[in-house]
A and B are shown apart, each in its own frame.
Chain A
Amino acid sequence: TQLLEQSPQFLSIQEGENLTVYCNSSSVFSSLQWYRQEPGEGPVLLVTVVTGGEVKKLKRLTFQFGDARKDSSLHITAAQPGDTGLYLCAGFENTGTASKLTFGTGTRLQVTL
């Protein structure tokens, strides 16, 4: 079973600060996705990265996929209270006839005024 470890587990910062969340695995994934989940809701897809070394930007969020496709990071610039939530990375495994997403352990972010 492939495992995805995220760090840190919890992060409490003030509005305007920058932060980075890491997602690491000992295995290679076909692609990696990042989700944000708010209380009482299901996870919502933020981005999918496919190519090793790929960098994608979504407004103040920057996602990077490691060269070896085993790790990824999410960097948030000038965090806002609306960024509060549980951030999950998920690796996609494609066995040809079946597929599934393996989710990371999660990073709970709280941004205060």
Chain B
Amino acid sequence: KAGVTQTPRYLIKTRGQQVTLSCSPISGHRSVSWYQQTPGQGLQFLFEYFSETQRNKGNFPGRFSGRQFSNSRSEMNVSTLELGDSALYLCASSLVVAGFGNTIYFGEGSWLTVV
């Protein structure tokens, strides 16, 4: 079956701009989580969506937002980009709730560079 698909794979933005990243989960999966990965901070949880509702949110500023559509596809948006937002953004999907007893599947990520 098709895996988690993230678009775009690579993008370069300028400080102050905004960016939208897209994630299509595995067919049938209803939970989508987003993570930010940087060399200095590692993998950090951004938020999780289940059935179009945000269930959990990490410690990121309000510039980071997301949403999930009725078909479980998800988008995340970062406004007023800063240099420190340069990172690999990973999306993960699972059948139900991510974590305990459930396998989560990661996409290949979207590489964002802010200049």
Is A45 a contact partner of B104 (Cβ separation < 8 A)? yes
Residue numbers in A under 8 Å from B59 (CB-CB): 1
In the bound assembly, the distance between CA atoms of A101 and B42 in angstroms comes to 13
A112 contacts chain B at the CB level, 8 A cutoff:
no
Q: Does A113 contact B (CB under 8 A)?
A: no
Residue of chain B at shortest CB distance from A35: B106
In the complex with contacts A102-B45, A104-B42, A97-B55 CB distance below 8 A? yes
Given contacts A42-B4, A42-B90, contact A100 B45 (CB under 8 A): yes
Instruction: Classify chain B's interface size.
Output: 20 to 34
Given contacts A99-B56, A100-B48, A103-B42, contact A40 B108 (CB under 8 A): yes
Q: Is A62 an interface residue (CB 8 A)?
A: no
> In the complex, which residue of chain A has the Cβ closest to the Cβ of B31?
A99
Given the known interface contacts A97-B55, A99-B55, A102-B45, the answer about A42 and B99 at a Cβ–Cβ threshold of 8 Å is no
B48, B92, B103, B104: residue with the most chain A Cβ atoms closer than 10 Å: B104
Contact A43 B43 (CB under 8 A): yes
Interface size class of A (residues with CB under 8 A): 20 to 34
Closest residue on chain A to residue B111 by CB atoms: A40
B33 at the interface (CB under 8 A from A): yes
* Minimum Cβ distance to chain B for residue A33 (Å): 8
Contact indicator A42/B106 (Cβ below 8 Å)? yes
Which residues 27-56 of B sit at the A interface, judged by CB distance below 8 A? 33, 35, 42-45, 48, 55-56
B107 in complex: contacting residue of A42, A94, A103, CB < 8 Å: A42
Cβ-neighbour of A99 out of B97, B103, B105, B108 (below 8 A):
B97
- B44, B45, B58, B106: which contacts A43 (Cβ < 8 A)? B106
Within the complex, what minimum Cβ distance (angstroms) separates A15 from chain B?
Answer: 27
Which 8 A/B pairs are nearest by Cβ-Cβ distance? A42-B106, A92-B99, A98-B56, A103-B43, A98-B55, A99-B99, A100-B45, A100-B56
